Amino acid sequence: MMEFVTLNNGVKMPMVGFGTDAANAELTYNEVMAAATEAGYRMFDTAAMYGNQDELGAYLVNSGLDRSDYFLTSKVAQLEQGYENTLQAFKRTTAALQTDYLDLYLVHWPKFEPFFETWRALEHLYKEGYVRAIGVSNFEAHPYFNQHVLHNYLTELGIQHQAWSPLGRGAVLQDETLQGIATRYGVSVAQVILRWHIQHNVAVIPKSGNPARMAQNIDLQFQLTPTDMARIDALQRGERIMGAPDQNYTEDLW
């Protein structure tokens, strides 16, 4: 059974979504998405820079799902930002995805000079009803970089935290503590990490091109004990897997 979180404007969002950037999958794009849909995913996360919005839109239109059956997220890229640019980028995104609205629209990497104009465009889209919720993206979080200070700050403000790269791009899967916990629960290390995120009220968007792992990543109907939660919390090292956002904030990297 899918768990949901209610955003501060009343919109319900699945706690587990599917990262649709399937560039390295051995299956075709439609096969990847069909496997994700079969596994039970109903939140699909994409972005302008992924280059897959046309494929995703075509898949969803032909999937047999009603538009109200799934939660669709996309993001405005750095080089699309600014007020008018963002509005035009949104039109391109919705045309590619073959939908007239998004459930969630995010600023991908913030760009210093036009950030507030970009955000003003997102507010306009929200007020006009083209987007059900808005936010910012790329909050990397995983057991070695748990973002607890940021998470507490977001919680105080009523902002939902959603983890980018919740499995640390695989870098934490060999951790002995996590492996021991997974063995005791009879689940995978990935399932333990995703369950840990959810019990901290952090939404997740794992990505996989493997149908078996897709099914595992959404099968999270178990509870970690407070002791095991604390053991995973203690793995914090302050280690980023990806680049620091400050660099991306001031440079046009893509």
- Give pLDDT tens digits for 75-123: 999 889 999 999 999 999 999 999 999 999 999 887 777 889 999 999 9
The whole-model pTM stands at 0.93
pLDDT digits (tens, 9 = 90+) for 183-224: 999 999 999 999 999 999 999 999 899 999 999 999 999 999
Residue 2: is its pLDDT beyond 90? no
Distances 106 to 28, 48, 139, 198, 223 between C-alpha atoms, Å:
27, 11, 12, 21, 30
How far apart (Å, rounded) are the C-alpha atoms in residues 120 and 24? Answer: 35
pLDDT value, residue 21: 85
Of the candidates 42, 50, 47, the residue with the CA atom closest to the CA atom of residue 24 = 50
Residue environment code for 93-124, b if the CB has 16+ CB neighbours within 10 A, otherwise e? bbebbbbeebbbbbbbbbbeebeeebbebbeb
Catalytic residue annotation:
50
